[in-house]
Amino acid sequence: MPAAPSSLQGKWQGRDLTFLSAGQQRIWYGLAGVDVEAKPGSYPLELNGTMPDGQMLHTVREIQVGPAAYKTVKLTVPERFVQPDPEALKKIELDKELKQKAFSRQTPAPEWSGAFHAPIDSTISEAFGVRRTFNGKQASIHRGVDYHAKEGTPILAANAGTVVLAQELYYEGNCVIIDHGEQFMTLYMHLSHIDVAEGERVKEGQRIGLSGATGKVTGPHLHVAVRWQGAYLDPMQLWNLSLPILPRVQSSN
């Protein structure tokens, strides 16, 4: 049996991939995905490895990304969310800075380990990728999944990581963002209460807050998003992945 690489890195759609080995050190795992707005087509996956004897390996494989069919829905929300006043616009700009700071966190290795799980045991009210029109004036793309959730339902962390944002935002309401390593993040929005603090390390399944109806909403629910280096991925695909228990790796902010 040929020797396995002693290290492995990659690049996918212009983003860096980091791999960790598990088990008998013969299988390498990394997390990546395709953004909701990516165009169908063929994209190169580049892999670079180092063998135990120091030999360098390089390979490129074309990956086909197929088309997706997303529906369009019409929603009605308070007019202040469609045409914010000057004070609200200042808040929105401040929120952008806060989110950008959270999204820019750098970690040397994954903090996740094992499978990701849905943060709530409920049914979906709106799927990923839906094109939406608010009050007939503003179109957007739904970059996450909405779950039915009556106010006060416990919301759990999808996997282990570090809380990089935990506060109220204009559109997202009470929002928690968890970095699972290398800018692979889960976002939890419209909470009625937040139970964690920025900088806190959380475990998979730990309660991070309670569902609610804060921010830009039409009623109580939970919005969950998955973000990887600027790309928004389908959370349902992540929940369905079988992932290994990774060796514990210390990380730094």
The residue with tokens 């992945």 is 241
Which of 25, 44, 65 terminates a domain? The answer is 65
Please name the helix (run of DSSP H) or strand (run of DSSP E) that holds residue 144, with its range, or none. none
Q: Pairing state of beta strands 138-141 and 184-194? A: unpaired
Are 95 and 171 in contact by the 8 Å Cβ rule? The answer is yes
Question: Would residue 130 count as lying in a domain?
Answer: yes
Distance of CA 164 to the CA centre of its chain: 13
Most confident of 70-74, 128-132, 178-182: 178-182
Same domain, 94 and 155: yes
Question: Would residue 203 count as lying in a domain?
Answer: yes
Which range of residues forms the domain containing residue 96? 72-239
pLDDT tens-digit map of 139-190: 688 999 999 999 999 999 999 999 999 999 999 999 999 999 988 999 999 9
Same domain, 202 and 162: yes
Same domain, 88 and 144: yes
Question: Would residue 83 count as lying in a domain?
Answer: yes
CA distance 160 to 149: 23
Q: State the CB neighbour count (10 A cutoff) for residue 195.
A: 16
Residue from 88, 81, 105 nearest 190 by CA: 81
Question: Would residue 2 count as lying in a domain?
Answer: no
Question: Would residue 1 count as lying in a domain?
Answer: no
Lowest mean pLDDT among 5-9, 138-142, 165-169, 199-203: 138-142
Same domain, 82 and 201: yes
95: domain CATH number is 2.70.70.10
pLDDT at 251: 43
Look up residue 75 and give its two tokens: 């929603």
Question: Would residue 250 count as lying in a domain?
Answer: no
pLDDT at 1: 45
Are 19 and 31 in contact by the 8 Å Cβ rule? The answer is no
Look up residue 39 and give its two tokens: 């165009």
Question: Would residue 38 count as lying in a domain?
Answer: yes
Same domain, 111 and 218: yes
Same domain, 201 and 115: yes
